């Protein structure tokens, strides 16, 4: 079985900013005449112009070196400090030196000469740099500050969630996501990365029910075998799970290629026999053996028994069809067809069952009818049938609906 959802280590966002100078250094290339109210000494001006030339030539490391001497001066005035620190921020980010960028950005953000309108872009750059070096406390601080400064919440949320989770503030992750998930519009925009961070925190807090819901959402937006396996192996252990549906969990595991061990195939086969569906047990064992599994003597005996009973069921089909009058008898006939993989016949028999009344375990019958329609290639009919499933089988019906997407 697959391990539980692991924490995603990266946001998958490249740090290199490729920012135009107007973004972090001001209105554009440094020009003393255009900044009459500021005071710059000649050596500061020369260093700034040399750094800008290096940046324009895509040599950010050279730009940092050209700024190093003047930035080391202790008597720079606030205007000179703001100019050189901003240039250093751009150079460090483009040179993929996040530690150097953090120092320069913090100096810029603490400078009294910084215009309020320039803060969001600078804080945004700080968040990305801090995240790159996994400085979670600093990332959290500046992600919140960025949102307060007007940065789009949706862009900052992944950084904030990652930072909170790295600090083991799992309760805060849940609280941050709660209002988002309660709003249908916002919930649709939640990314796979955000769902994964939420799931990691739910596991840490032992919120198994919440984690199952998160895995379901992950399957809806980014279906994968790992997500299916993690979810389906957890379902039988959920509070209130109806044991009658254990075989249906195995059916979905088989459909998503999540049956991997001989014990799983054999458990499914035994449950099929117990449910009076020996033909399904035969198919299950044969699939296991096609993978080189379950070739022991005990399985030989199980397979022999299942084949014998399946043959008896086949012989009784004409009599079952002749005797089918009420919902339950039609439903039983449908199950025999279902076990034998005759999907069209199975779903037609269930249609007759519901036309005749309400069969026993009606929600399970609708679930199985929907599966038969899906496997018969009747996608729209399957979607409509599965949408009607309620009760204990509703969760599995929703999962089967994901197989239709």
The answer on 263 and 169 residing in a single domain is: no
Q: What is the mean pLDDT of the segment spanning 249-255?
A: 98
Q: What is the mean pLDDT of the segment spanning 222-232?
A: 97
pLDDT of residue 20: 30
- Cβ 64 vs Cβ 85: under 8 Å: no
Q: What is the pLDDT of residues 114-123, one digit of tens each?
A: 999 999 999 9
| Whole-number Cα distances in Å, 318 to 237, 264, 314, 344, 346 | 40, 33, 8, 17, 14
Query: Looking at the domain assignment, is residue 291 inside a domain?
Result: yes
Query: Looking at the domain assignment, is residue 385 inside a domain?
Result: yes
Q: What is the pLDDT of residues 60-108, one digit of tens each?
A: 999 999 999 999 999 999 999 999 999 999 999 999 999 999 999 999 9
Domain boundary among 213, 240, 267: 240
What is the C-alpha to C-alpha distance for residues 204 and 206, in angstroms, rounded to an integer? 5
CB atoms within 10 A of CB 361: 17
The answer on 99 and 6 residing in a single domain is: yes
Give, as one character, the DSSP assignment of residue 393: G
pLDDT of residue 9: 55
35 pLDDT more than 70: no
Number of compact structural domains in the chain: 4
Range from 21-25, 279-283, 369-373, 382-386 carrying the lowest mean pLDDT = 21-25
153 pLDDT more than 80: yes
The answer on 283 and 349 residing in a single domain is: no
pLDDT of residue 5: 61
pLDDT > 90 in the chain, percent = 90
405 pLDDT more than 90: no
The answer on 202 and 215 residing in a single domain is: yes
Query: Looking at the domain assignment, is residue 301 inside a domain?
Result: yes
**What rounded mean pLDDT belongs to the chain?**
91
pLDDT of residue 359: 96
Q: What is the pLDDT of residues 137-151, one digit of tens each?
A: 999 999 999 999 999
CB atoms within 10 A of CB 74: 4
Q: What is the pLDDT of residues 327-366, one digit of tens each?
A: 999 999 999 999 999 999 999 999 999 999 999 999 999 9
The answer on 330 and 291 residing in a single domain is: no
pLDDT of residue 39: 83
What is the C-alpha to C-alpha distance for residues 373 and 23, in angstroms, rounded to an integer? 57
Q: What is the mean pLDDT of the segment spanning 211-215?
A: 97
The answer on 253 and 126 residing in a single domain is: no
Q: Which residue has the higher pLDDT, 10 or 269?
A: 269
- Cβ 52 vs Cβ 61: under 8 Å: no
The answer on 215 and 110 residing in a single domain is: no
The answer on 366 and 292 residing in a single domain is: no
| Whole-number Cα distances in Å, 208 to 11, 152, 358 | 25, 31, 34
Range from 16-25, 46-55, 264-273, 275-284 carrying the lowest mean pLDDT = 16-25
Of the candidates 373, 359, 391, the residue with the CA atom closest to the CA atom of residue 400: 373
pLDDT of residue 14: 32
Query: Looking at the domain assignment, is residue 20 inside a domain?
Result: yes
CATH assignment at residue 187:
1.25.40
What is the C-alpha to C-alpha distance for residues 87 and 51, in angstroms, rounded to an integer? 7
What is the C-alpha to C-alpha distance for residues 280 and 267, in angstroms, rounded to an integer? 12
23 pLDDT more than 70: no
pLDDT tier, 6 (very low <50, low <70, confident <90, very high otherwise)? low
Query: Looking at the domain assignment, is residue 330 inside a domain?
Result: yes
The answer on 364 and 334 residing in a single domain is: yes
Domain boundary among 262, 284, 314: 314
The answer on 235 and 172 residing in a single domain is: yes
CATH assignment at residue 331:
1.25.40.10
Query: Looking at the domain assignment, is residue 366 inside a domain?
Result: yes
**Cβ neighbours for 53, distance < 8 A, ≥ 6 positions apart:** none
Q: What is the pTM of this model?
A: 0.85
The answer on 115 and 34 residing in a single domain is: yes
The answer on 9 and 119 residing in a single domain is: yes
Domain boundary among 198, 217, 240: 240
Of the candidates 56, 50, 113, the residue with the CA atom closest to the CA atom of residue 81: 113
Query: Looking at the domain assignment, is residue 319 inside a domain?
Result: no
Of the candidates 82, 17, 76, 87, the residue with the CA atom closest to the CA atom of residue 54: 87
Query: Looking at the domain assignment, is residue 293 inside a domain?
Result: yes
Q: What is the mean pLDDT of the segment spanning 296-319?
A: 96
Domain hosting residue 356, numbered range = 324-405
- The string of DSSP letters for 73-113 reads -S---HHHHHHHHHHHHHHHHHTT-HHHHHHHHHHHHT-TT
5 exposure class (CB count in 10 Å sphere: 0-12, 13-18, 19+): buried
Long-range own/partner contacts, residues 62-67 (CB < 8 A, 24 or more apart): 63/87, 63/88, 63/90, 63/91, 63/95, 64/88, 64/91, 64/92, 64/95, 64/97, 64/100, 67/91
């Amino acid at each position: 079985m697959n391990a539980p959802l692991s924490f995603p280590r990266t946001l998958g966002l490249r740090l290199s900013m490729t920012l135009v100078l107007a973004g972090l250094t001001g209105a554009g290339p440094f020009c003393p005449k255009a900044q009459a109210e500021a005071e710059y000494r000649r050596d500061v001006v020369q260093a700034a112009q040399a750094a800008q030339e290096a940046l324009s030539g895509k040599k950010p490391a050279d730009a940092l070196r050209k700024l190093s001497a003047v930035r080391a001066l202790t008597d720079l005035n606030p205007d000179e400090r703001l100019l050189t620190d901003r240039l250093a921020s751009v150079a460090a980010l483009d040179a993929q030196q996040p530690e150097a960028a953090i120092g320069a950005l913090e100096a810029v953000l603490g400078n009294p000469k910084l215009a309020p309108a320039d803060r969001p872009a600078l804080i945004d750059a700080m968040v990305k740099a801090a995240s790159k070096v996994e400085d979670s406390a600093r990332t959290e601080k500046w992600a919140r500050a960025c949102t307060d400064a007007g940065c789009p919440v949706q862009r900052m949320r992944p950084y904030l969630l990652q930072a909170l989770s790295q600090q083991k503030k799992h309760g805060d992750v849940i609280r941050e996501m709660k209002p988002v998930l309660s709003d249908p519009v916002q919930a649709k925009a939640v990314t796979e990365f955000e769902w994964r961070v939420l799931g990691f925190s739910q596991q840490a807090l032992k919120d198994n029910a919440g984690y199952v819901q998160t895995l379901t959402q992950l399957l809806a937006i980014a279906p994968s075998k790992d997500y299916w396996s993690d979810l389906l192996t957890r379902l039988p252990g959920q509070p209130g799970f109806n044991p009658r549906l254990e075989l249906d969990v195995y059916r979905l595991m088989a459909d998503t290629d999540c049956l991997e061990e001989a014990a799983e195939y054999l458990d499914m086969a035994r449950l099929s026999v117990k449910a009076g569906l020996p033909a399904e047990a035969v198919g299950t064992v044969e699939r296991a053996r096609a993978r080189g599994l379950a070739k022991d003597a005990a399985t030989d005996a199980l397979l022999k028994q299942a084949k014998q009973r399946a043959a008896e069921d086949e012989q009784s089909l004409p009599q079952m069809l002749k005797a089918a009058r009420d919902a339950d008898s039609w439903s039983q006939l449908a199950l025999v067809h279902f076990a034998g993989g005759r999907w069209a016949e199975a779903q037609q028999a269930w249609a007759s069952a519901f036309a005749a009344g309400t069969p026993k375990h009606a929600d399970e019958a609708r679930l199985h009818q929907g599966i038969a329609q899906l496997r018969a290639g009747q996608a729209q009919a399957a979607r409509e049938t599965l949408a009607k499933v309620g009760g204990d089988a509703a969760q599995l019906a929703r999962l089967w609906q994901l197989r239709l997407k």
